[in-house]
Structure 1
Amino acid sequence: MAEKEKLIEVKDLQITFRVGKKDFVAVDDVNFDIYRGETFSLVGESGSGKTTIGRAIVRINPTSKGEILFNGKQINGKISKELDREVIQKCQMIFQDPMASLNERAKVDYIISEGLINFHLYKDEKDRAAKVQNALKEVGLLPEFASRFPHEFSGGQRQRIGIARALIMEPEFVVADEPISALDVSIRAQVLNLLNNLKQKRGLTYLFIAHDLSVVRFISDRIAVIHKGRIVELAETEELFHHPLHPYTKALLSAVPTPDPEIEKQKKLIVYDPSIHDYSVDKPKWVEILPGHFVYANDKEVAEYKEQIKD
């Protein structure tokens, strides 16, 4: 098999926020790569640091330690103006709340083409308008929507406008931050299908952020599970669903609803208790248990996980 090309590399990442006089470490010692053309999902409950990581990759959040590489070049910290422009254009973000992330006072035409205008990525007014029309069509909206305001649209339509705004920059990499959590269930599948189709059509690479494992199973190539700012397990999607190792991953999977009511009745919810880990002497580290399947564990736990795999 040919070596996969790494588009994004995150190494020993730490992100700290100042809260009053204290420093709060939101993300600690995070490592992962995202290969070109894949959908890499980051899953965890609210406040686990997943959005913070996504925002750090697109340079919204500053980092306190570690490196983020895009196409082999470091993009966190101080970088050149040229590289900054490249990151803004090639790394786009679709935000969680389609209402809050769109300018209420601007028409859709301006919202979608704001990036084009700032970077002057069009020949003339006719070319700019054509690009907006194409972006709208591509996300399944009518070209005449360009003259309307965001409040005239439903949640799903607003999220499509957000996707069009990201796509018009012709990015290579898109951070999709819980793009469907604010939408009705019936609309969610449409937006997921749209993201999948656009990925294939444009050769995009996604970092997909979510709190619901059942959603990411449908869209991801690999999944990383994050708990309190630390990634505890990372594996290919089906491998993670069939052989979850970390107790937190098992707890998340136990909360995924099953369509069969009989199975659902018999299912036991697992509640994760962090005190089951004794890290006082035997310290945990990031270990590759099977090829491509990593888990955060100490030596004693690694031995237990290996036994589980054999069974």
Structure 2
Amino acid sequence: MMKNKSDYKSITLDSDNSVFGTTADGQRVIVDKQTRFGVFHTYSYRPILKGTEEMLTPKHGEEVLVKMRNVDITYGSGLKAFRAIKDLSLNIYKGEVLGLVGESGSGKSTTGKALVGLIPYSHGDIQLLNKTLPKKLKRGLKFGEALKEYKAIENFLVNKVQMIFQDPANSLNPHVNVEKVVSEGLENTKNAKEIYLYNIDQDVLKETFARISAKGKKETFTKELFNELNRKVAIDEHVGYKTLYEEFEPMLVNEPTAHEYLLSTKAHRDTEMQYSEKECKRILVKEILKSVGLDESVLPRYPLEFSGGQQQRIGISRAVVLRPQLLVADEPISALDVSIQAQVVNIFNELKEKFDLTILFIAHDLRMVEYISDRIAVMNKGVLLEVGKTEEIINHSLHPYTKSLLDAVPSIDSEKGSLVGYVYDPSMHNYSEEVQPEWVKINDDHYVLGTPEEVEQWKQGKY
């Protein structure tokens, strides 16, 4: 229930920049700030479900790339308002593939679109790389500082997050050729050279580390050192060059194989610094198409000349060529033939490793998500119900809705009989104002939404 800030004596925020706080009577809440006309501010708060903060705390040192805190997304207004997402709190960790699953209408695509700024959210807080996304990203009539802020957040989103849509045919411009389609983002951002040199520097860093001896990796060239160097390489092409050939190179004097390789790349890197923006853009387009199994012969052709699977590869190329931190894949395989789906999933796995991608993989087929995801989050009617490591959700799921999703997928191991399987009935919970669900910890990698009594019943297989 939403309440005005004036309804209670005081709220103590966890920190100046935190959205979490504690009321005078000790209740944990999230505070939401609304700005009207850029001047007037209103505040409201909402109690936090018990167990939410523990569920959101990283357990294995993960770096949080995306924070969603008590997010509501509402379509329409007044009597016609429909709350599609209800009190969603979720982390997406850097380098992981998070599978977001649920039946049609559960709010999966709405969540993904909010992350890329395509639709507004009405309550809560969304942060990407510790930068809070505005509740509504709309150009409108903006001047001066307001226009500057709008362009800054728009540029931030274009460079840091990209989306792949469900229907490749409708998401690709049929009137321009493949080269133009894939390079459109690079044309808009004017940073093809920066991305190209970053790709080169990152590949050199990875290959150099691969040539370091096992003893060297154990004693000096640790994973922490690699991550620190990789972070510096990503700043820009000048810092990347200095990091590799002035900071890293002297450290390799006792690693002759790695040292020789790194020195051999310097002359080539000096030459590449002279490439023009146009040359870098064309090279990037060719390389990304090659990464998804398409050669440069497709460049002059048009999207409608390709099959559905090939169109989706082009759509993937268009998004990944910009080197986003977060890739939102909105049911990218549901419109494809079953024989092609596995190929596209393999492409995602390969691109994740090559480009260090973090992916929100949206799908309704829990079994297909199993093959690509590190973690799975289950939604129904805008509410997050269960979240955990993939093996936990697939093999030890507890929420009855998750059980119904798993039973909906035919398997050769299934018992003979009805194909319907278990059917989830939301009325089974009997929640009230006094009896509310909470996030119950199953283990560090698995949380489920329900009352403790319900969860105990589910553990015993009683639904």
Residues 119 and 136, structure 2, Cα contact 8 Å, conserved in 1:
no
* Residue range with higher mean Cα deviation, 101-110 or 12-21: 12-21
Q: Structure 1 pair 100/288, CA: closer, same or farther in 2 (3 Å)? A: same
Residues 98 and 361, structure 2, Cα contact 8 Å, conserved in 1:
yes
Give distance in 2, aligned partners of 1:88 and 1:184: 30
Q: How much does 1:139 deviate?
A: 1.0
Residues 96 and 359, structure 2, Cα contact 8 Å, conserved in 1:
yes
* Residue range with higher mean Cα deviation, 294-303 or 190-199: 294-303
Name the residue aligned to 1:59: 117
Residues 177 and 208, structure 1, Cα contact 8 Å, conserved in 2:
yes
Alignment map for 1:96-135 (pairs within 5 Å): 96-122=166-192, 123-135=276-288
Give distance in 2, aligned partners of 1:220 and 1:102: 26
| TM-score normalized by the length of structure 1 | 0.93
Matched, 1:246 2:316: no
Matched, 1:296 2:436: no
Q: Structure 1 pair 286/152, CA: closer, same or farther in 2 (3 Å)? A: same
Give distance in 1, aligned partners of 2:77 and 2:372: 36
Name the residue aligned to 1:152: 305
Residues 39 and 220, structure 1, Cα contact 8 Å, conserved in 2:
yes
Instruction: Map Cα deviations across residues 16-73 of structure 1 (whole Å, 9 max, x no partner).
Output: 0007841000000111111111100100000110000001001111100111111112
Q: How much does 1:176 deviate?
A: 0.7
Report the aligned-residue RMSD: 1.8
Give distance in 1, aligned partners of 2:400 and 2:134: 32
Q: Which amino acid counterpart does residue 175 of structure 2 have in structure 1?
A: R
Residues 57 and 76, structure 1, Cα contact 8 Å, conserved in 2:
no
Residues 121 and 136, structure 2, Cα contact 8 Å, conserved in 1:
no
Selected match of 2:428 from 264, 276, 279: 276
Q: Which amino acid counterpart does residue 424 of structure 2 have in structure 1?
A: Y
* Residue range with higher mean Cα deviation, 49-58 or 240-249: 240-249
Q: How much does 1:76 deviate?
A: 3.5
Instruction: Map Cα deviations across residues 122-175 of structure 1 (whole Å, 9 max, x no partner).
Output: 343222222211121111111121111111000000000000000111111100
Name the residue aligned to 1:70: 128
Q: How much does 1:2 deviate?
A: 5.2
Matched, 1:222 2:375: yes
Alignment map for 1:163-178 (pairs within 5 Å): 163-178=316-331
Instruction: Map Cα deviations across residues 156-215 of structure 1 (whole Å, 9 max, x no partner).
Output: 000000000001111111001111000011111100001001101111110000000110
Q: Which amino acid counterpart does residue 137 of structure 1 have in structure 2?
A: K
Q: Which amino acid counterpart does residue 300 of structure 2 have in structure 1?
A: S
Name the residue aligned to 2:18: none
Name the residue aligned to 1:47: 105
- Structure of larger gyration radius: 2
SS in 1 for 2:184: helix
Give distance in 1, aligned partners of 2:435 and 2:79: 32
Q: How much does 1:289 deviate?
A: 3.1
Selected match of 1:36 from 61, 74, 94: 94
Q: Which amino acid counterpart does residue 129 of structure 1 have in structure 2?
A: R
Residues 27 and 228, structure 1, Cα contact 8 Å, conserved in 2:
yes
Residues 377 and 384, structure 2, Cα contact 8 Å, conserved in 1:
yes
Give distance in 2, aligned partners of 1:7 and 1:267: 43
Q: How much does 1:264 deviate?
A: 4.1
Selected match of 1:258 from 384, 387, 411: 411
SS in 2 for 1:242: helix
Give distance in 1, aligned partners of 2:448 and 2:166: 28
Name the residue aligned to 1:15: 73
SS in 1 for 2:460: helix
SS in 2 for 1:219: coil
Q: Which amino acid counterpart does residue 416 of structure 2 have in structure 1?
A: K
Number of residue equivalences: 306
Q: Which amino acid counterpart does residue 217 of structure 1 have in structure 2?
A: E
Residues 109 and 146, structure 1, Cα contact 8 Å, conserved in 2:
yes
Q: How much does 1:302 deviate?
A: 3.6
Residues 50 and 209, structure 1, Cα contact 8 Å, conserved in 2:
yes
Q: How much does 1:266 deviate?
A: 5.1
Matched, 1:187 2:331: no
Matched, 1:90 2:160: yes
| TM-score normalized by the length of structure 2 | 0.63
SS in 1 for 2:281: helix
Q: Structure 1 pair 7/274, CA: closer, same or farther in 2 (3 Å)? A: same
Flag structure 2 segments of 5+ consecutive residues without an equivalent.
1-58, 138-148, 193-275
Flag structure 1 segments of 5+ consecutive residues without an equivalent.
none
